[in-house]
């Protein structure tokens, strides 16, 4: 840059200096298009997966969807259905929710608000973070050993309750971590404001901090639940039925302590049977589970929006 002395000199060079130059920000452009490419790939991958599932399961989805949704397992590929799986999955999700959310949120509140950053609390948090990475099959073994066998008097063995407890143990670390992050994100100014007008710890936590973090906690919980809904391995280990099951004349409540199956388990079962008809059933059941998960998520988002009053 030359040293410019007069307005005339400045005027002569300004137009040229300000002109857009080709290749000025090549790295930026490359980066942007790489990002777009990655996004397109991920979306396309999902789209293809969905398309394959719908195409493969088309014979079932178009021909006998009503029958498929409302009937139980049958040895005949033409006659089988996923009703027991839908019911089982929803029941398990309910048990998981009822167990994991209160325990998980309570743990998070303790860790963030009450532990005072003690060594014990840091150890717990570290462990919880590690537990979130433990493979689900390990939780299946835990469920088999603890919930099915040791606690048989309570769970009645291989039942919805045992399955729900197993999945609750699996998602508990996720619920704890997302809740901890949600509570840590609540600004300290809010706590100080409440303490400043003479609120007790209980009043600060229950009336300010938890409500402020609630919508994030809810989002995390729903993601955890969606993961639980898709799990087959731990449920097979704790004894989900992979074939014909009968509820007898048990009412809805009694089925919680009866034999059970779940949608992912049914998919697994369908997929290992020989023949194209079974493959179609597996694909159709996959579409069903996707729809169920989407519906659960949608309901949670609806709840969150109603819950989260924007100020």
Partner 1 sequence: MVNVNEPIAGRRAESFVSVPISDDVAAMNTEHATDQQSPHDAVFAVEDLEVYYGEFRALKDVSLDINMHEVTAFIGPSGCGKSTFLRCFNRMNDLIEGARVEGRIDYHGVDLYDERVDPVEVRRRVGMVFQKPNPFPKSIYDNIAYGPKLAGAKKGDLDDIVERSLQRAALWDEVKDRLKSSAYGLSGGQQQRLCIARAIAVQPDVVLMDEPCSALDPIATGRIEELIGELTSDYTIVIVTHNMQQAARVSDRTAFFSVQLNDEGMRTGELIEVGETRAIFTNPADSRTEAYITGKVG
Where along the sequence are the contacts to partner 1 (CB under 8 A)?
116-117, 187, 189-200, 203, 208, 212, 311
In whole angstroms, the minimum distance from the beta carbon of 16 to partner 1 comes to 41
Q: Which is nearer to partner 1, 187 or 298 (CB)?
A: 187
Q: Which residues contact 141 (CB under 8 A, 6 or more apart)?
A: 237
Helix H, strand E, coil C: the string for 180-226 is HHHHHCCCHHHHHHHHHCCCCHHHHHHHHHHHHHHHHHHHHHHHHHH
In whole angstroms, the minimum distance from the beta carbon of 193 to partner 1 comes to 5
- Cα–Cα separations (whole angstroms), residue 9 to 2, 19, 90, 102, 207: 10, 17, 77, 73, 67
In whole angstroms, the minimum distance from the beta carbon of 176 to partner 1 comes to 21
In whole angstroms, the minimum distance from the beta carbon of 116 to partner 1 comes to 6
In whole angstroms, the minimum distance from the beta carbon of 126 to partner 1 comes to 18
Q: Which is nearer to partner 1, 196 or 248 (CB)?
A: 196
Task: Report the C-alpha dihedral over residues 227, 80, 50, 216, rounded to 10 degrees.
Answer: -20
Q: Which is nearer to partner 1, 109 or 161 (CB)?
A: 109
Q: Which is nearer to partner 1, 162 or 205 (CB)?
A: 205
In whole angstroms, the minimum distance from the beta carbon of 45 to partner 1 comes to 40
Q: Contact at 8 Å (CB) between 266 and 81?
A: no
Closest CA to 190 of 204, 175, 172: 204
Q: Which is nearer to partner 1, 63 or 117 (CB)?
A: 117
In whole angstroms, the minimum distance from the beta carbon of 204 to partner 1 comes to 10
Alpha-carbon distance 84 to 38, whole Å?
39
Q: Which is nearer to partner 1, 162 or 186 (CB)?
A: 186
Closest CA to 73 of 257, 281, 290: 281
Within 10 angstroms of residue 190's Cβ, the number of other Cβ atoms is 13
Q: How far is CA 147 from the centre of its chain?
A: 23
In whole angstroms, the minimum distance from the beta carbon of 251 to partner 1 comes to 45
Alpha-carbon distance 282 to 288, whole Å?
10
Q: Which is nearer to partner 1, 138 or 214 (CB)?
A: 214
Alpha-carbon distance 5 to 14, whole Å?
13
Q: Which is nearer to partner 1, 129 or 201 (CB)?
A: 201
Alpha-carbon distance 111 to 97, whole Å?
21
């Amino acid at each position: 840059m030359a040293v410019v002395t007069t307005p005339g000199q400045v005027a002569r060079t300004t137009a040229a200096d300000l002109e857009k130059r080709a290749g000025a920000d090549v790295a930026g452009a490359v980066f942007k298009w790489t990002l777009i490419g990655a996004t397109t790939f991920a979306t396309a991958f999902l789209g293809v997966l969905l398309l394959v599932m719908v195409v493969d399961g088309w014979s079932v989805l178009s021909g006998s969807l009503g029958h498929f949704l409302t009937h139980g397992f049958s040895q005949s590929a033409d006659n089988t259905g996923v009703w027991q799986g839908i019911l089982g999955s929803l029941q398990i999700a309910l048990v998981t929710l009822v167990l994991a959310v209160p325990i998980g949120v309570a743990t998070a509140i303790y860790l963030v608000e009450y532990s005072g950053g003690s060594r014990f609390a840091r150890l717990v948090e570290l462990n919880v973070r590690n537990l979130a990475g433990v493979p689900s099959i390990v939780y299946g073994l835990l469920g088999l050993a603890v919930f099915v066998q040791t606690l048989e008097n309570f769970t009645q063995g291989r039942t919805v309750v045992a399955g729900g407890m197993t999945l609750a143990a699996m998602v508990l670390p996720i619920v704890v971590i997302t809740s901890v992050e949600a509570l840590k994100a609540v600004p300290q100014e809010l706590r100080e404001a409440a303490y400043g007008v003479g609120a007790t710890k209980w009043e600060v936590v229950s009336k300010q901090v938890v409500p402020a973090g609630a919508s994030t906690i809810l989002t995390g919980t729903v993601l955890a639940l969606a993961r639980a809904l898709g799990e087959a391995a731990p449920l097979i280990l704790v004894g989900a039925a992979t074939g014909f099951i009968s509820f007898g004349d048990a009412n809805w409540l009694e089925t919680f302590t009866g034999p059970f199956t779940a949608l992912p388990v049914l998919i697994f079962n369908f997929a290992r049977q020989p023949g194209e008809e079974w493959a179609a059933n597996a694909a159709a059941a996959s579409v069903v589970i996707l729809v169920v998960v989407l519906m659960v998520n949608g309901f949670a988002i609806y709840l969150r929006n109603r819950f989260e009053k924007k100020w």
